[in-house]
Structure 1
Amino acid sequence: MKPAVTREDLVQQLAEVGRLAVERGLVLASGGNLSARLPGEEQFVVTGAGTWLDRLGPDDFSVMDLGGEVIGGAPRPSSEWKLHQRTYQERPDVNCVIHLHPQHTVLLDAMGHQVRLITLDHAYYVRSVGTVPYNPNGSDALADTTAEQAKVHDCVIQSFHGCSAHAEDVGMAFRRIMNLEEAATATYRALVVGDKDTVFPPESFAALHHA
């Protein structure tokens, strides 16, 4: 995906991400939520309450400002709008937040296992993973702890719930969350055969991110 330059582009890209996320089993029905900061503005679009992510259209998005006010679009934003808003407040460089419920990521974290970055793509796109304890969906605690972790991590797991990824554009945020779930799946398979240690080589990881 190329970086979007208009609201229409952003909505179209988010709708495509929603369709792909459901198609690939990263979320079911109306679980999860998607947002993007409007280019050059202190506003963002976020999926509306109860919207099915594989059936999104232009009317399924609320427009909000960074103060948390709905200023257009669907009158009721997702119950998780605070998670998106607080991340944008903490990370001015972030223009997209994707929150989904991928099974392996959530299961590994719930069982007390760290998601290991094993392949080159995991190391490059995910980079590091933050985690936050369980808090009710839509709560200030969930939004604030996620935003705090987002200061240093581009992927954050919300325990017993889901995960979020954020980036400078929609395409990169979706790459990150897909690679997070792939890393979780690889970690799960490694655990099944008794491996508890394999990770992407640390010296190669350091070189990858300081090239």
Structure 2
Amino acid sequence: MKHPETTDGLIEQLIDVGRTAVTRGFVLASGGNLSARLPGSDTYVVTGSGTWLDRLTPEDFTVMNLDGEIVGGSSKPSSEWKLHQRTYRVREDVNAIVHIHPQHAVLVDALGHEIRLLTLDHAVYVRSYGRTPFHPNGSDELADTAAEQAREHNCVVLAHHGCSALGEDIGMAFRRAMNLEEAATATYRALTLGDTKTTFPMTADEAIQHA
């Protein structure tokens, strides 16, 4: 999935990702939100407030700048716009953020277990993940703590809430989100079998070299 060169292209890809995220059960109804920007841009598009990710249209997106100002599109951005804004401000290399509510990632984390990377794909694409304690959605606390974790990780679990996955393009952000949830699902299954230790047998750096 090549990163688009126009804002319209960004929106088209985000619409496709939103539809897939709902179909795959990563989010329900109006939960979750998506954003993307053109490389080097100080503006980004983000899904609007109350929008269902499988029913998105171009009119459902707000254009915002990194100062938190609305500069185009829908007048009502997602209540989580700060989550996207603060992360873009600390990660110049990130051009897309997928925030969804994957059930197993949230459950495993809420039960106090680490999400274990068990496969080559988990190690290569997730690599590592950060987490935040619970903060209300849309709050400065949530946005700031998630951005702080994003300095070192491309996936961040938001306790009792969901996750954010970052990427240099939309496809990579969504791929990381899907692999984080797959790793959480595998971890849950391992726990039901009584296994608390199995992980991928090499470091992420070694996995990347062998990929």
TM-score (norm 1): 0.97
Moved over 6 A (4+): none
Say whether residues 1:15 and 2:15 are aligned partners: yes
Q: Which residue of 2 aligns with 1:123?
A: 123
Question: Does the aligned pair in 2 maintain the 1:83–1:146 contact within 8 Å?
Answer: yes
Q: Which residue of 2 aligns with 1:62?
A: 62
Residue type matched to 1:10 in 2? L
2:191 match: secondary structure:
helix
Q: CA deviation at 1:187?
A: 0.2
CA RMSD of aligned residues (A): 1.0
Say whether residues 1:149 and 2:149 are aligned partners: yes
Q: Which residue of 1 aligns with 2:101?
A: 101
Measured in 1, the distance between the counterparts of 2:36 and 2:3 equals 11
Q: Which residue of 1 aligns with 2:44?
A: 44
Q: Deviations over 1:6-45 (max 9, x none)?
A: 1111000000000000000000011000000134421000
Measured in 1, the distance between the counterparts of 2:81 and 2:157 equals 17
Say whether residues 1:140 and 2:140 are aligned partners: yes
Measured in 2, the distance between the counterparts of 1:29 and 1:3 equals 27
2:54 match: secondary structure:
helix
Say which is worse superposed, 13-22 or 35-44, in terms of deviation. 35-44
Measured in 2, the distance between the counterparts of 1:27 and 1:117 equals 22
Q: How does 1:21-36 map to 2 (within 5 A)?
A: 21-36=21-36
Q: CA deviation at 1:210?
A: 5.5
Question: Does the aligned pair in 1 maintain the 2:40–2:92 contact within 8 Å?
Answer: no
Question: Does the aligned pair in 1 maintain the 2:120–2:207 contact within 8 Å?
Answer: no
Question: Does the aligned pair in 2 maintain the 1:68–1:85 contact within 8 Å?
Answer: yes
1:46 match: secondary structure:
strand
1:177 match: secondary structure:
helix
Measured in 2, the distance between the counterparts of 1:39 and 1:54 equals 26
Residue type matched to 1:181 in 2? E
Say whether residues 1:199 and 2:199 are aligned partners: yes
Residue type matched to 2:169 in 1? D
Question: Does the aligned pair in 2 maintain the 1:38–1:45 contact within 8 Å?
Answer: no
Residue type matched to 1:67 in 2? D
Residue type matched to 1:16 in 2? D
Residue type matched to 2:132 in 1? V
TM-score (norm 2): 0.97
Residue type matched to 2:98 in 1? I
Q: Deviations over 1:52-93 (max 9, x none)?
A: 000111100000000000010000100000000000000000
2:2 match: secondary structure:
coil
Measured in 2, the distance between the counterparts of 1:86 and 1:93 equals 13
Measured in 2, the distance between the counterparts of 1:198 and 1:41 equals 42
* Residue segments in structure 1 that go unaligned for 5+ positions in a row: none
What percent of counterpart residues are identical? 65
